[in-house]
């Protein structure tokens, strides 16, 4: 099947998909070119903006603080003409709305005389609720307390002859149902509320809001945009929410300050979209938020779940979210690997530091000065060797503290054996070669085994090698360094009580797709030229267990031909464990990420393999030796993943089987 046909098949599968089924909702943040103190013109402008965003299937459309009047009207906020024209404009714009939700900013005077800076939520031809600003800055260039009062304690039901009845309260959540029986909640805070030590958004999130909306009017100063961006990202991370920030644009008064129209969208601490600043026309961003992913984050975060809940929140119904037939979200084929090269350099260095620190501490705890490692010439054992080298260097130990053993057997090729020898030679570590052919033959003979290359034939070799490593460690008062990686553990692609076992496994939470990048990084940044050549050779070698005799002397047993591509399995693992995605959602996301590489049939096939192996091989993870956690996804039974060994996987396999690839 050609790549073109792969793409076509997946596109056909996805084109009929409504992504709201999987917990997505589309949100837009827009900075219009407002006309100061002219609500009528602004209402017309906002209606046009609303219509454009509605055509792009945005369920929630956010405009800046006081977008109906302009933020910089100053003392005009105290004029009856502006306040009355604002009420008329609110009527115009609210009645214009349809299913899609529009959030506009406008002043509102209470019957007790206080003027509030509010965000109005409009949908289906009416205002359904309003949220007042709590924190009004009155320092530097800001004098908001001259015009506005805090609405932090306001809870009123507005009954207006023209605008209808709606709640006005800070502690208010807005419910957005979808056609699949689910409901999403969002809360609103306004500008300075975010910068306050006690942000309303924190309470909104604890009360159930997974989306925080911030209509804002923030001035631009040197480096302020960076601070603002980090603030939005951090608040979304702290509240385990999506944070949508819409800042006023350059059409505000520039008498003393400039407004940049900064638009931001962050999801659990990760920036999803942002606008260019200082544009002289309307600017916008659109972002598809994965609410299901945020809910999973909250589900597993006991700190969030143990917080006391505020009981006096108003829940205001809105309208049903709009279906999304095409997702505006990119998914990396390698979610464990940083996308930016600069980030990869920093990440690789940190991972190596975690691995070496863990190993050094373990050595100190048992008064050990010798590391015993089995080298195969493959990626995993090569990375483990690099960790051993760095650990010895940190502990000021001689290279003789690393004792490498290679144990060629019936399936070993000359290529990998030469690689092992080159690794030992270039790193100047001692290497012992112990052929296991005779031991394996004797063991199989004792078992009255035919010698045919079956599972017993393969596992005998793995266990013979492990026995030699542990016995050598006993002789040398050393520690057996494990080499197996996270991907192998997820699939159970290891022999129980063989390569599955070690004294300390430095690779235990490093996935296969990341290991290749770590070895490449080491080759580029830390290795000598001679070692770099050997590491490149390792990277170019197919992943193989080399347990089946080869007739040609070449590698014939390729792991990914047997169990499937590791990049797919790592993708499945990440989205199942890290984001809590269902098998159908994992399939859909993989289709988006690998549209140009794998057909929908291939993705479905290997997803079934992954699900079956992951659940059936839990018994190997239950008895996992210790090793350092380096990322958010780990399968340690003592920390991150606890699961019974006896789970029946038939229901999940049925779910995979029922996935349509048409």
- 220-227 long-range contacts, Cβ below 8 Å, gap at least 24? 220/257, 220/258, 220/259, 220/260, 220/262, 220/277, 220/278, 225/260, 225/262, 225/277
Strand arrangement, sheet containing 431-433: 431-433, 402-406, 371-374, 479-482, 504-505
Q: Characterize the bridge pairing of strands 263-267 and 242-247.
A: antiparallel
Q: Which of 187, 233, 235, 229 is nearest to 207 (CA)?
A: 187
Rounded-to-integer distance, Cα 323 and Cα 635, Å: 36
Q: Return the closest-CA partner of residue 123 out of 153, 85, 80, 93.
A: 93
Contacts of 450 (CB under 8 A, 6+ apart): none
- Backbone dihedral region of 287: left (phi > 0), alpha (psi from -120 to 50 degrees) or beta? beta
Rounded CA-CA distance 335/313 in Å is 38
- From the list 22, 504, 5, the residue with the least C-alpha distance to 291 is 22
Structural contact between residues 539 and 515, judged by C-beta atoms closer than 8 angstroms: no
- Please give the sequence-ordered ranges of beta strands (E in DSSP) within 195-303, or none if there are none: 211-216, 242-247, 263-267, 270-274, 283-290
Compute the Cα dihedral for 189, 190, 194, 200 and give only its sign. negative
Residue ranges of the alpha helices (H) in 447-593?
455-476, 486-491, 512-525, 529-539, 559-563, 566-573, 583-593
CA 390 from chain centre, in angstroms, equals 30
Catalytic residue among 133, 233, 604, 620: 133
CA dihedral 79, 80, 83, 87 (to 10 degrees): -170
Are 314 and 172 within 8 A, CB to CB? yes
**Cα separation, 334 vs 570, whole angstroms:** 7
> Is 191 an active-site residue?
yes
| Count of other CB atoms within 10 angstroms of residue 9 | 18
Whether residue 599 contacts residue 10, with contact meaning beta carbons closer than 8 Å, is answered with: yes
**CA 232/CA 537 separation, integer angstroms:** 44
Catalytic residue among 65, 203, 488, 546: 65
Q: How far is it, in rounded angstroms, from Cα 160 to Cα 11? A: 49
Contact 31, 244 (CB under 8 A): no
Quote the radius of gyration of the chain (alpha carbons, Å).
Answer: 30
Q: Which of 73, 191, 368, 494 is catalytic?
A: 191
> Quick check: helix, strand or coil at residue 201?
helix
Catalytic positions are 65, 133, 191
């Amino acid at each position: 099947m050609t790549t073109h046909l792969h793409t076509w098949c997946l596109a056909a599968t996805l084109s009929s998909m409504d992504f709201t089924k999987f917990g997505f909702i589309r949100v837009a943040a827009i900075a219009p070119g407002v006309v100061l103190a002219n609500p009528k013109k602004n209402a017309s402008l906002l209606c046009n903006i609303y219509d454009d965003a509605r055509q792009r299937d945005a369920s929630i459309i956010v405009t800046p603080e006081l977008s109906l009047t302009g933020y910089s009207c100053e003392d005009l906020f105290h004029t009856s003409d502006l306040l009355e024209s604002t009420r008329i404009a609110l009527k115009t714009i609210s009645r214009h709305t349809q299913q899609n939700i529009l959030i506009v900013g406008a002043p509102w005077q209470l019957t007790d005389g206080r003027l509030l800076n509010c965000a109005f939520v409009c949908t289906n031809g009416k205002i359904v609720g309003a949220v007042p600003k709590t924190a009004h800055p009155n320092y530097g260039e800001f004098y908001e307390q001259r015009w506005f009062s805090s609405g932090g304690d306001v809870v009123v039901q507005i009954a207006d002859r023209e605008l209808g009845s709606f709640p006005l309260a800070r502690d208010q959540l807005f419910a957005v149902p979808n056609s699949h029986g689910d409901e999403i909640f969002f809360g609103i805070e306004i500008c300075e509320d975010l910068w306050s030590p006690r942000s309303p958004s924190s309470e909104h999130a604890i009360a159930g809001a997974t989306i925080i909306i911030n209509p804002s009017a923030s001035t631009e100063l040197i480096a302020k945009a960076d601070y603002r961006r980090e603030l939005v990202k951090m608040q979304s991370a702290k509240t385990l929410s999506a944070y949508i920030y819409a800042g006023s644009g350059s059409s505000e008064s520039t008498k003393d300050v400039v407004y940049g129209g900064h638009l931001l969208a962050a999801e659990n601490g990760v920036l999803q979209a942002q606008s260019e600043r200082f544009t002289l026309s309307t600017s916008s961003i659109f972002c598809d938020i994965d609410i299901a992913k945020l809910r999973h984050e909250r589900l597993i975060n006991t700190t969030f779940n143990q917080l006391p809940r505020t009981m006096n929140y108003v829940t205001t119904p809105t309208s049903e979210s709009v279906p999304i037939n095409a997702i505006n979200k990119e998914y990396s084929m390698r979610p464990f690997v940083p996308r930016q090269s600069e980030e990869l350099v920093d990440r690789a260095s940190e991972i190596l530091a975690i691995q070496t620190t863990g190993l050094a501490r373990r050595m100190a705890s048992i008064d050990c000065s010798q590391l015993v490692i089995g080298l195969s010439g493959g990626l995993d054992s090569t990375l483990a060797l690099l960790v051993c080298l760095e650990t010895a260097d940190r502990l000021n130990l001689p290279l003789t503290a690393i004792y490498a053993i290679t144990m060629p057997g019936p399936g070993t090729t000359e290529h990998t054996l030469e690689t092992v020898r080159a690794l030992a030679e270039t790193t100047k570590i001692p290497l012992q070669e112990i052929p296991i052919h005779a031991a394996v033959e004797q063991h199989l003979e004792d078992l009255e085994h035919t010698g045919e290359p079956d599972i017993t034939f393969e596992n005998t070799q793995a266990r013979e090698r492990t026995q030699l490593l542990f016995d050598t460690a006993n002789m040398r008062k050393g520690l057996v360094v494990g080499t197996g990686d996270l991907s192998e553990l997820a699939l159970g692609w290891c022999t129980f009580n063989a390569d599955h076992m070690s004294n300390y496994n430095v690779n235990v939470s490093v996935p296969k797709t990341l290991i290749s990048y770590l070895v490449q990084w080491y080759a580029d940044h830390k290795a000598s030229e001679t070692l770099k050549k050997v590491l490149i050779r390792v990277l170019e070698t197919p992943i193989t267990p080399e347990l089946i005799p080869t007739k040609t002397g070449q590698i014939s047993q390729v792991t990914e031909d047997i169990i499937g591509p590791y990049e797919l399995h790592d993708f499945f693992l990440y989205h199942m464990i890290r984001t809590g995605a269902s098998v159908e959602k994992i399939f859909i996301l993989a289709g988006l990420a690998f549209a140009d590489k794998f057909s929908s049939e291939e993705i479905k096939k290997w997803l079934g393999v992954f699900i079956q192996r992951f659940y059936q091989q839990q018994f190997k993870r239950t008895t996992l030796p210790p090793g350092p956690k380096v990322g958010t996804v780990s399968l340690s039974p003592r920390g991150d993943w606890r699961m019974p060994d006896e789970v029946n996987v038939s229901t999940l396999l049925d779910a995979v089987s029922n996935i349509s690839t048409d």
